[in-house]
Amino acid sequence: MANIFPRWTNFLPIKIIVMVITIVPLLIVGATYYFTPKYTRVGYMPTQPVSYSHALHVNQLGMDCRYCHTGVEVSSHSNVPTTQTCMNCHTAIKKDSSKLAALRESWETGRPMNWVKIHKAPDYVYFNHAAHVNRGVGCASCHGQINRMEVVWHDQPQSMGWCLECHRAPHQQIRPKEEIYNLDWKAPSREAQLTMGTELVKQWNINPPQTCAACHR
Amino acid sequence: MKRVIQHPTAPSSGRTYWRSTGELLDTPEFREQLEREFPQGIAELEAGVSRRDFVKLLTASMALAGVGLTGCRRPEAHLVPFTKSPEWMIPGRHLHYSTAMPRREGALPLHATSFEGRPTKVEGNPFHTDSAGKTDIFAQASILDLYDPDRARRYLASGKPMEQTAFLAALDSAVQSWKDGSSVAVLEDGLDSPTRARLRAEVLKKFPKISWASHEPLAPGRNGTAAEIAFGEGARLVPQFGKASVVVAVDHDFLSAHESGIKAIRDFVGGRRVRKAGDQMNRLYAIEHRYTVTGGMADHRLRLPASQMGSFLAALALELSKLGVGSGLDDLAAASGQTTELAGETLEWITALAADLAAAKGSALVTVSQRQSVQCQLLAIGINHALGAMGQTLKVRQMPSTGVDTLKSLVTKISAGQIKTLVILGGNPAYTAPSDYEFAAQLASVPSVIYLGDSENETAACAHLFAPKSHYLEAWGDARSCDGSYLTAQPLILPLWSSLSDIQLLARILGIKTDDEPTLVKQSFAAITGLSVGSTDFEAAWKKCLHDGFLAGSAASPEGRAPSTGAVRAWLASNKVPAPRVAADSIEVVFSGDYSVEDGRYNNNGWLQESPDPITKLTWENAALMSATTAKKIGVKNAVVSGILTVDKIRIAVNGQSVEAPALIVPGHADYTITLPLGYGRTKTGRVGKASGFNAYPLRSSSSDYVAIGAQVSLSSSGYKLAITQEHSAMEGRAIVREASLEVFNQDPEFVNKVGIDSHAPPNVSFYKNPPLTGVHQWGMSLDLTTCTGCTACVVACQAENNIPIVGKDQVAKGREMHWIRIDRYYSGTEENAEMLVQPMTCVQCENAPCETVCPVNATVHNEEGLNVMTYNRCIGTRYCANNCPFKVRRFNYFNYSDRPTDKLYWGPLAAKDTAETTKMQRNPNVTVRMRGVMEKCTFCVQRLEAAKIDQKAKNAFTDKTEIPTDSVMTACQQACPTDAIVFGNLNDENSRVVHLKQAPHDYAVLGYLNLKPRVTYLGRIRNINAEMPGAENLVMSTMNEMHHGGAHEPHAEGVKEAGEDAIHETYKTQSNH
C-alpha cells in the first residue's frame, strides 16, 4: 500500500514548531513595541497653525506656564490661551510678522485658532490638572521639558500603565512646591529625590487613588 | 462549603406587601415572571438561529473587524480656544447662574449649571425658601425641553416658513390696523410675570378695548373664587403646612409637584421627621378617588368618588358642629344643600376624624383641590374657620387684580364675530380648551390668529402667523414665586432658534425693538424697587438681584383674617348643587393632570414620558384607571401575557363625546369612578410624544372640567400592551420595606430589627477578608421611608446628571429601562382599601458586593472609599453581575440607546444615528456616554465626589487637609429630593448628617442577613395612626402584638418555625462545622 503522506511531510511538524517558536515571540515583541503608546504617541510633533516656540517664550523671555495656561491650578483642563492672550503682547511686539498672520486673522475675524491637539486622553479618561499641580506633580513630569522645545512633541507615553507607575510610587516624582512650574528642575540625585519625595508624600498626605473611578466614570 | 441562603418563601413580617394584583393573587403568570430576569423571549436567541449559525456570524464579524483595523489612523484633533476671553469662564469648570422657571403655581427659583456656555442641569436655588435648593421632576426635565429638536424653530405664515424679520414686519403691519383694539383679543397662558403684567397694562393703555383672557386647563382657580367670596376681592388662601399637626387633604394632591409649590411639600414633611422615640409627628388624612402621592403618604386614607367630596365636607361640618366646634357649621352644611347620604362606614370614619380635628383645634388644616367645586372650597373655609385655622394654619394673601378675563368670555366674543385678530401667548388652547368651546373651529373663524408657541402643535396648525417661543433658559424675564417674591430669570444661552419670548412679543406690539430685552425686565424691576434705571443704586440692586436670583424682602406677608360667614352661607344657599349619585349605572369620570406630562405641555419630553407614574408605574402613555369592582362590572380584564401587562380597551362616552382607552385596574381606587389622566394623544407633537396614549380632553366640557357623571362605558377591544415597570425586578416578601405606627416606634424604636428573617439570623460573620478601605472619605447614604413621597424627581435628576438614555415603550415593556434609581411601590392590605408605601432602590454599594466576585474582567471593583465602581470601557457585557445582584439595580445597554432612534433599535447599524446635535449639548461632560453592550449602575455620582475632593485639594494646595468640609457634596438625587428623604455624606465625618441618621434606632439594611454590608440603608417608615379610626387595627403594625414575636427574639415552640428559618439555621450549622 502506497504511503498516504508523501515523504516531505516527515519534517513538517518540526518546521511548524520552529516557525511558531520564531514567529510568536516576534509578534509579541512587535505588538508590545509598535502597538503601545510609547511608540504610537511619543514623538508626535504636528505642525501648528502658528509656529509658536515654547523655547523662545519660556526659556528666553522667562514667561510662566500660567500666563497662558490660566486654568491649570483650578480646572481639570489646562486651557490653551485665547487669541486675546496672544494679542496682549503681539499688538505691540512683532505686530507685522508674517508668522503671526493666522493669529491676526483670528483676532480680526473672531474665528478661533485651530491648534492641533497633541496630548489626547481617551474620552473615558477624566484627567484633572488641578489635582496634580497642587499636589507636587510638575509640568515636566508629564509633558517633558517643553521650555526646550521649538515645536512641541509628545514626550511621555501617557498610557495607563505609565500613570499607575507614579500613582503606585508617587515619591519618585513629587517635587517641592516652588519647582512645579520650573521645567528645568531636577533632583540633585536619585537618592535625594527618594528621600525628599517620601518626606513630601507624608507631609502632604499624598495617597494617589489606584482604583478605576479615580479616572474612569 | 458554599453558603446557601434559602430566602423565605413566605413573608415573615406578619403583613403582606405586594406590588401588583398579580402578585397579591399569586397568579401562575406572576410566578413564572419572577423566575426570569426578563420577560419571555427576550433573553433567548431568536428561534431558527442555532449555536453553529451564531458562531459563523461571530467569525464573520471578527473577520470584518480585521478589515476595519487596517484602516486605523491617528485622527487629528484640535484645540479651539475662544478668540476673546469671556468673563468668568475657565474651560473645564462649570458656572452657576440664578434663574427662575415659570410655573402655574408660582415660579421656581433655580440655579442652572453651565459648561462653557451650555446649560446642562438645573438645581433649586438654595438661598430662597421656595426652593431651598430643591426641585421637582418638571424642573429637572425642563433642561431637555431646551434642547428638544422638535421644539418650534421657525416662523410660519399659514404653515409656510418665513424669516424672523418678515414675521416682525407682518406683526407690525397688523398692529397698525388695531386702532383702539376693539376687534382684537389676547389669550395668554397662566405663566404670568411682573414684566408681562406691566407690558399688558401698557398695551391696554394703547389699545383700551382689547379683550384680554387667560387659560390654564388644570388651574380653574376655584379656590380663588371661594376666597374672594369669603374674604373679599383679591384674596387668596395660603395654607401653612408647617404649622399643622393634623392635615385633611380633600381630593387635594398637595404633595405632588404640580399642585403646590415645593415649600408646601417641605413644610409638611418637616413635621414628619421622626428620629427617636418621643419625636412629634403630624398626621395626614387623605380623601381621594384614586391613589395619589398624597394618599400614599397619608396615615389614614378614605377612597371616595371625586363628586362626593361636597357630601364629605358637609358631613364633616355636621360632625364637628355636634362636637361643639365653632358655631354655625350645621347651618353651613345645611345651606350647601349637599346630601350627606354616605355609606355607614364612611360616616364612622368621618366621626372619628372630626374628633381628632376637634382635639387639634388651632393646628388643624383642611385643604381642598382647586379643581373641586366652589361649594367644597367654601365648606372647607367654614370648617377651617371653625377649627381656628385662620392665622395659624391658613392665611390670606392679597393679590392685585390682573383684570384678565376667562376663556369663556373670549369664546363668546369670537362666536359673536367680534374678534378679527387673536394673539395667543403660549399654551396650547386648541388642544386643552374644553371640548364644548370647539376652540379649533373658533380659531378658524377668526381672520387673523397670531400665535407664539413652544412647538408646532395643534394651535400652531390653526394660526396664520406663528412664532417660536423661547425656552425660559434662553430669554430674559422675571416672575413671582409661590410666596410672592420677585425673581429674575436670566438666559443661560442665546435662543437656539432665534425665537421670541412673550415679553418680547408684547414689547414689539408696543413698538419697542426686541433687542432691548434686558431693559424690559430692568424697567419692571425699577417700578418694583422705586429706583430709576441707570442710577448707581439701581445698578447695584439689579446686579445683586440677578446674582441672588430674587429680590430680598419682596415676599408677600399673608395674614390671618376671619371669613365673612354670612357671605359664605348666602352664596352656598343660592348655589345649591346636590351631590350626584355615583353607582354602577352612573359612572363618574375624573380628569386629572398626569404625573409625567402634566396637561400635555411636557408631552415631547422623553425623560418624563419614560419616568414611571409614581402610582401606576405606567410609562409612555396614560390609561383609564379604575377599581377591580368597576372593571368587573364593565368586564375589563388585565393579564400578564409573556411577561407584559396586557389589558382591554374600553370606550368611554360622556358629554356627547367618546374616546377609546386602555383600562388599567388599580388598587385603592373608588368604585364606579374612572380616572382619565390628561396630556397624551396629541395629534401634533414631536417624535417622542407621537402616538403616546389617548386624548381625554374631548370628554371634558366647560361645565364638567373636573368631574363628569353618567359616562357610558363599554368594552371595545382587547390585547393592548402597556409598559409598566411595577413587576420588574420583584423581590418576594423578604421584609424589604419595614413600617410601624408611631405608637409601636415609641415603644420599641428598634422595631426594624425585629421583622423578617433578620430577627432570626445570628450575627453576620464573613469568611472573606476584604482589603481595608483606606480612603479619607467613606461614602454612605440614608433613605427615609417616612418622608419619601415617591415623586420620582430623583429618577429624572439622576437621568440628567448621568447621561442616562431613554429606551422607548417597547424596551420598557421588556424590562430594559435604564433608570439608575427606581421607586418601588408596594401595597399592603386588601385590594379595595390598599395602603401604599414607596421605597427608592438604587445600587446600595455593598461592601461585600456579589457583583464584583463574578465579573470576569474586573470591570466592577471596589474603591478605597467604599464605592462599588463600574468601569465602562472594561466591561464586556457578560451580565453576570446583574444576575448576581440581589437588588436588581444594574442596567444593561442592550442597544446603543444613546445614539439610535428608539423605534429602530433592532435595525442596529442600519438605522442612522439620530441623536440631535442639540440633545448632545445637554449631556454632562464629566460622565461617559455609554454604548451598546455595557453594564451600568448608580455610582453615587462619582464625578461629583471626585470634583469635590479635587477642589478641596486645589484649595488646600500642598497641605495634608484633604478631607472635604462636612456635607459639602451632594448626589444628584439628594440635591433634587424635595423632601430631603435622601441624605448622603462621609461616614468618617462624625458631624455628617448621614452618620446621625445611620445611628437612628430604625435604620436598617435591606436583605441584611446576606451580610452584604450595604452603604445605603433605610429608615423604617413610621405612620402616625389614630387608634380611634375605624379599621385602624388593620393598618400597618399598629400594635405590638402584631409585630413579629412582639420584640426580642425568643425560641419557637416546636413546629412553628417560619419558612426559610430552617434553611438559615441549617446553613449556619454547616458553617460552624466547617
CB B900 within 8 Å of CB B811: no
Whether residues A148 and A183 share a domain: the answer is: yes
Q: Which of B979, B831, B837, B982 is nearest to B297 (CA)?
A: B837
User: What is the spatial distance between Cα B52 and Cα B296, in angstroms, rounded to a whole number?
Assistant: 53
Q: How many CB pairs under 8 A join A and B?
A: 142
Q: How far is CA B1012 from CA B766, B1004, B1041, in A?
A: 10, 13, 30
Local confidence band at B735 (pLDDT 50, 70, 90 cut-offs): confident
Q: Is residue A167 a part of any domain in this protein?
A: yes
Question: Quick one: CA torsion of B1012, B1015, B1019, B1020, rounded to 10 degrees?
Answer: -20
Local confidence band at B651 (pLDDT 50, 70, 90 cut-offs): very high
Mean pLDDT of B1034-1058: 46
Q: Give the minimum alpha-carbon distance from B76 to chain A in angstroms, rounded to a whole number.
A: 7
Question: Quick one: CA torsion of B184, B186, B187, B188, rounded to 10 degrees?
Answer: 180
Higher local confidence (pLDDT), A175 or B74: A175
DSSP state of B618: B
Q: Is residue A6 a part of any domain in this protein?
A: no
DSSP state of A47: P
CB B298 within 8 Å of CB B1029: no
At how many degrees (to 10) do helices B329-336 and B565-574 cross?
20
Q: Which of B330, B398, B394 is nearest to B367 (CA)?
A: B394
Q: What is the number of domains present in chain A?
A: 3
Q: What are phi and psi of B784, to 5 degrees?
A: -95, 110
Q: How far is CA B735 from CA B9, B479, B673, in A?
A: 12, 47, 33
Q: Identify the pLDDT of residue B575.
A: 87
Q: How far is CA B913 from CA B802, B908, B922, B931, in A?
A: 20, 10, 17, 12
Mean pLDDT of B476-501: 92
Q: Is residue A139 a part of any domain in this protein?
A: yes
CB B147 within 8 Å of CB B118: no
Whether residues A74 and A180 share a domain: the answer is: yes
The parent domain of residue A96 ranges over: 81-114
Mean pLDDT of B297-310: 92
Take residue B965 and report the three cell numbers written for it. 468640609
Residue with cell 453592550: B933
Q: Give the minimum alpha-carbon distance from B119 to chain A in angstroms, rounded to a whole number.
A: 18
At how many degrees (to 10) do helices B194-206 and B502-509 cross?
20
Q: Do B864 and A209 touch (CB under 8 A)?
A: yes
Q: Do A216 and B867 touch (CB under 8 A)?
A: no
Q: Do A204 and B942 touch (CB under 8 A)?
A: no
pLDDT at residue B476 above 60? yes
Nearest residue on chain A to B946, judged by CA atoms? A214
Q: Identify the pLDDT of residue A176.
A: 94
Whether residues A166 and A92 share a domain: the answer is: no
Q: Identify the pLDDT of residue B578.
A: 80
pLDDT at residue B66 above 80? no
- CATH fold of B94-146 reads N-terminal domain of TfIIb (2.20.25)
Q: Tell me the CATH architecture of domain B587-722.
A: Beta Barrel (2.40)
pLDDT tens column, B899-917 = 888 888 888 888 877 777 8
Nearest to A75 among B91, B861, B953 (CB): B91
Residues of B in contact with A178 (CB under 8 A): none
B26: left (phi over 0), alpha (psi -120 to 50) or beta: left
Residues of A in contact with B78 (CB under 8 A): 114-117
pLDDT at residue B1062 above 80? no
Mean pLDDT of B140-145: 94
Nearest residue on chain B to A110, judged by CA atoms? B83
Q: Identify the pLDDT of residue B915.
A: 77
Interface of B with A in 910-939 (CB under 8 A): 926-928, 939
Q: Which of B301, B193, B213 is nearest to B253 (CA)?
A: B301
Q: Do B871 and A216 touch (CB under 8 A)?
A: yes
* Best A42, A201, A211, A215 residue to mutate vs chain B (most B CBs within 10 Å): A211
Q: Which of B611, B577, B616 is nearest to B596 (CA)?
A: B611
**Domain segments of chain B: what residues?**
17-35+729-766+774-1034, 94-146, 222-304+306-390, 587-722
SS3 category, B457: coil
Q: Is residue A5 a part of any domain in this protein?
A: no
pLDDT at residue B1053 above 50? no
| Burial environment of residue B904 by CB neighbours within 10 A (0 to 12, 13 to 18, 19 or more) | middle
Report the percentage of chain B scoring pLDDT > 90. 59
Q: What are phi and psi of B883, to 5 degrees?
A: -65, -35
Q: Give the minimum alpha-carbon distance from B868 to chain A in angstroms, rounded to a whole number.
A: 9
Highest mean pLDDT among A31-35, A178-182, B69-73: A178-182
Q: Identify the pLDDT of residue B1073.
A: 33
User: What is the spatial distance between Cα B659 and Cα B650, in angstroms, rounded to a whole number?
Assistant: 8
Mean pLDDT of B1009-1023: 91
Q: Identify the pLDDT of residue B1070.
A: 32
Helix ranges (H only) for B95-146 are 137-146
Take residue B986 and report the three cell numbers written for it. 462621609
Q: Which of B998, B1007, B1037, B1022 is nearest to B783 (CA)?
A: B998
pLDDT tens column, B414-436 = 999 899 999 999 999 999 999 99
Q: Do B80 and A113 touch (CB under 8 A)?
A: yes
Host H or E run for residue B783: strand B779-784
Mean pLDDT of B131-157: 92
Q: Judge if B94-146 and B222-304+306-390 fold alike in CATH terms.
A: no
Residues of B in contact with A134 (CB under 8 A): 953-954, 957-958
Q: Identify the pLDDT of residue B758.
A: 74
CB B196 within 8 Å of CB B526: no
Whether residues A30 and A75 share a domain: the answer is: no
Q: Do B92 and A82 touch (CB under 8 A)?
A: no
Average pLDDT of chain B to the nearest whole number:
86
User: What is the spatial distance between Cα B908 and Cα B913, in angstroms, rounded to a whole number?
Assistant: 10
According to DSSP, the β-strands at B421-425 and B448-453 are parallel
Q: Identify the pLDDT of residue A2.
A: 72
Whether residues A170 and A198 share a domain: the answer is: yes
Whether residues A51 and A90 share a domain: the answer is: no
| Burial environment of residue B337 by CB neighbours within 10 A (0 to 12, 13 to 18, 19 or more) | middle
Whether residues A126 and A193 share a domain: the answer is: yes
Whether residues A88 and A136 share a domain: the answer is: no
User: What is the spatial distance between Cα B60 and Cα B527, in angstroms, rounded to a whole number?
Assistant: 73
* ipTM confidence: 0.89
Q: Is residue A4 a part of any domain in this protein?
A: no
Q: Is residue A159 a part of any domain in this protein?
A: yes
* Best B872, B950, B956 residue to mutate vs chain A (most A CBs within 10 Å): B950
Nearest to A134 among B863, B928, B953 (CB): B953
Is the Cβ of B511 closer than 8 Å to some Cβ of chain A?
no
Nearest residue on chain A to B931, judged by CA atoms? A124
Whether residues A188 and A173 share a domain: the answer is: yes
Whether residues A164 and A70 share a domain: the answer is: yes
Q: How far is CA B1029 from CA A119, B310, B317, B671, B966, in A?
A: 71, 21, 18, 22, 44
Residues in a beta bridge with B720: B647
CATH class of B222-304+306-390: alpha beta
Interface of B with A in 814-873 (CB under 8 A): 861-864, 867, 869, 871-873
Whether residues A170 and A133 share a domain: the answer is: yes
Q: Identify the pLDDT of residue B204.
A: 92
Q: Give the minimum alpha-carbon distance from B957 to chain A in angstroms, rounded to a whole number.
A: 5
pLDDT at residue B785 above 60? yes
Q: Tell me the CATH architecture of domain B17-35+729-766+774-1034.
A: 2-Layer Sandwich (3.30)
Mean pLDDT of B186-199: 92
Local confidence band at A189 (pLDDT 50, 70, 90 cut-offs): very high
pLDDT at residue B1074 above 60? no
Whether residues A57 and A17 share a domain: the answer is: no
pLDDT at residue B1045 above 90? no
CB B227 within 8 Å of CB B384: no
Mean pLDDT of B722-726: 86
In B656-754, which ranges are E strands?
A: 657-665, 673-677, 707-722, 739-741
Q: Give the minimum alpha-carbon distance from B505 to chain A in angstroms, rounded to a whole number.
A: 31
Q: How far is CA A50 from CA A46, A85, A101, B82, B847, in A?
A: 11, 14, 8, 16, 53
Mean pLDDT of B348-364: 92
Local confidence band at B652 (pLDDT 50, 70, 90 cut-offs): very high
Q: Is residue A2 a part of any domain in this protein?
A: no
pLDDT tens column, B787-805 = 999 999 999 999 999 999 9
Host H or E run for residue B629: helix B628-634
Q: How far is CA B235 from CA B391, B392, B553, B558, in A?
A: 14, 17, 21, 10
Take residue B272 and report the three cell numbers written for it. 414628619
CB B108 within 8 Å of CB B262: yes
pLDDT tens column, B3-38 = 555 555 544 445 667 776 666 666 666 666 655 555
Average pLDDT of chain A to the nearest whole number:
91
Q: How many CB atoms lie within 10 A of CB B820?
A: 23
Mean pLDDT of B658-663: 94
pLDDT at residue B936 above 90? yes
- List b or e across A93-102, with b for residues whose CB sees 16 or more CB atoms inside 10 angstroms: eeeeeeebeb
Interface of A with B in 185-204 (CB under 8 A): 203-204
